[in-house]
Amino acid sequence: MKAVILAGGLGKRLRPLTDSKPKPLIEIGGRPILAMQLDWLKQNGVFEAVLCIGFLKEKIIDFVGNGRRFGVKVGYVVEEEPLGTGGALLNTESLLRREESFLVLNGDVITNLNPSRLRDLNDYVGVLALVPLKSPYGVVDTDSDGLVSQFREKPTLPEYWVNAGVYHLSPKIFNYLKDKSDIETTAFPKLADEGKLKAVKYDRCFWKSIDVYKDIEEAEKDLKRIKR
């Protein structure tokens, strides 16, 4: 199986870090996000990857090369202007149209979830990984009389689930993609309406999306805790 890593974003919310370094090369605990992603693919039996790159693409190519030092064969698809996640994935059609299926991973995600649970496509066009929503704030619990019973610091909210940015897709997805679009707001809603999109919930895994400075700090703390 092949994988696609969507690594062409501008990373605006991480500026000035991303003024001179593409977001996938931001280091978490001394290791670039992209290096951790390639390690994750290899650990899960995926040895071929296509990187969708754009902003500061030369730095990604210089760092990854052909992927040999990561134990993964890597190719590239370049977007000359920002195309969104949908447009970037559409750029890979010539490489993936004949594949039975493939994985897709957002270039700012760090996770240890097991992607093999996503591979049962059956009649679906795609299967999404979902993770529990973590509250950005501390939560205060009260009893029926309004008395404070406990404080919980940024708990997970198991009744709510978010898109983890990890997908298993059939080549049929290309029929739903458009230039300069985001797969999350165009293709996926249409597939959901047609009953062709499935989801798998991961309630026991590490997952972090690196969007702002605070995410870097939190990810480093979480990874240290996991290692311990």
The residues carrying an active-site annotation are 154
Cβ proximity of 107 and 24 under 8 Å: yes
Assign residue 157 a region (left: φ > 0; alpha: ψ between -120 and 50; beta: otherwise). Answer: beta
Cβ proximity of 50 and 37 under 8 Å: no
Separation between Cα atoms, residue 14 and residue 217, nearest integer Å: 12
Buried-state track 2-14, b at ≥16 Cβ within 10 A, e below 16: bbbbbbbbebeeb
Q: Kindly give, in sequence order, each residue whose CB lies less than 8 Å from that of residue 168, ignoring residues fewer than 6 positions away.
A: 101, 102, 103, 104, 115, 118, 119, 121, 126, 127
Half-sphere exposure for 64 (CA within 13 Å, toward CB): 31
In the block, tokens 């290791």 appear at 31
Cβ proximity of 170 and 196 under 8 Å: no
In the block, tokens 């704030």 appear at 137
Virtual CA dihedral for 23, 116, 94, 32, nearest 10 degrees? 20
